[in-house]
Every structure is written in structure tokens, then in C-alpha cells.
Chains A and B, each alone.
Chain A
Amino acid sequence: AQKITQTQPGMFVQEKEAVTLDCTYDTSDQSYGLFWYKQPSSGEMIFLIYQGSYDEQNATEGRYSLNFQKARKSANLVISASQLGDSAMYFCAMRDSGNAGNMLTFGGGTRLMVKP
């Protein structure tokens, strides 16, 4: 069974600094996808970034980048130049492979708090 582990229940970061949120995964599949979502206090789930298991380059989307280390089975999210609006829960998720569907398995989340 697939498993996603986020070992940091909560983190603080100073505004304008960079922060790394950890995510490790466990799968025997060769083809898989990794996602990061942001959930602010309002509750919605906001898609941030995606990394495919065969992608050779680390994914980037604006201030978000994914540090993908396949051999270590880690997919850490890096947020550069933190802003107050980045305070939220962050979830790492993995997509099942092949024709089994697109369902996502989520980690327990990390609560990020940005200090002014």
C-alpha cells in the first residue's frame, strides 16, 4: 500500500525567508505522481505543484519548487520568500499509477506559520 509521511506537524518561518516542508513516500510502483496542496483556514484545497516520477527536472511554480529525490523517496516542497499569506496547512499527496485511477493518498499535513 502507498504511504505518505509528513514528519513536521508544525513549523514557523520568518517572513521573506525560505522554508522546506518535508514529504517522504513509499510505493512499489514505477510510475506515480506527487502533488502538494495548500489548505488555508478557510478550508479549500489549493493545488500548488506536481512532480511526475519520470520527470528529470524538479518542478517549479512561481515561489514553489519541489525538491524531488527519487532514490530517497522524498518530495520536499520549498517555498521561497515566505509571505504572511503562506500561513496554512500543506499536504503532500501521491497519485496511484497506471489504469488504477487518479486517486490521491495524502500525508498528515504540516501547519506552516509565517511570522512578521
Chain B
Amino acid sequence: DSGVTQTPKHLITATGQRVTLRCSPRSGDLSVYWYQQSLDQGLQFLIQYYNGEERAKGNILERFSAQQFPDLHSELNLSSLELGDSALYFCASSAGLAGDNEQYFGPGTRLTVT
């Protein structure tokens, strides 16, 4: 158990819908990351938050947004869903902003768009 929790574990929804994925980092970790794992794109970094502020952005679509709340949990919002958004979405956390030698992943949320 990495100490990072994600809910829900599975999500099935229709095209055009909007969903919210939730993540709680390990105790004491200030950085939260979101990654997407799909068959065609592999594992891709989406976005990093550190202590409530967005700090780095990767290949995140404009239809996707995220935030980190004062209690450090984070949410990833996916809207206008398309079939290609079906993937495993991971949240990860680490202690600091940069230079960390550990980054622990949650169990993931498997999103299926039908």
C-alpha cells in the first residue's frame, strides 16, 4: 500500500459526460501528480500541484482540469468525454516540489467511456 488513495476505482460513463476523479496524497506529501495510461499513448504526465498551486503541466487536454484543495487532496475533472479518454488515471504524490527521489502512485481509476 503506497498510502496514496484514489476514488473511484472504476468509472463507466458515456461520451459527452463529465466526471471527477479524486486523490488523497500520502501523509505529509505536498505534491500531487496526475498521469494517464492508455494503450496508444502509454504513461503520460498530465499535471502537478504543489501545496495548492499548479506547478507543471504536461500533455493535458483543455477539456481536463485539476485542482488541489487546502487539505491537499486533489481532483481531476474530465469533461466532454470522448472514447479516446478511456484510460487508467493515476495520481501520485511526493514530499517536495522538485528533486524528490520518491514518487508513490495510487491504485488508479479505470475510466471507460462508451
Contacts and interface: CB of A to CB of B under 8 A. Distances in A.
Given A50-B101, A109-B42, A102 B58 contact: no
A109 B107 CA distance: 18
Contacts of A91: 43
Contacts, number: 76
Interface string A98-111: 11111111101100
Interface residues of A, number: 27
A104 B42 contact: no
A37 interface: yes
Interface string B30-45: 0101010000001111
Q: How large is the interface on B (under 10, 10 to 19, 20 to 34, 35 or more residues)?
A: 20 to 34
Interface stretch (B17-25, B76-84, B92-100): B92-100
Contacts of B98: 96-102
Contact of B105 (A37, A98, A99, A101): A37
Interface string A75-116: 000000000000000010101111111111110110000000
A18 B108 CA distance: 30
B64 interface: no
A106 B108 CA distance: 16
Interface in A37-88: 37, 43-47, 50, 52
Contacts of A106: 42-44
Contact of B97 (A31, A43, A99, A104): A99
Contact of A47 (B42, B43, B104): B104
The 6 closest A-B pairs by CB, nearest first: A101-B56, A45-B105, A106-B43, A103-B45, A50-B101, A44-B107
Interface of B: 2, 31, 33, 35, 42-45, 48, 50, 55-56, 58, 88, 90, 92, 94, 96-108, 110
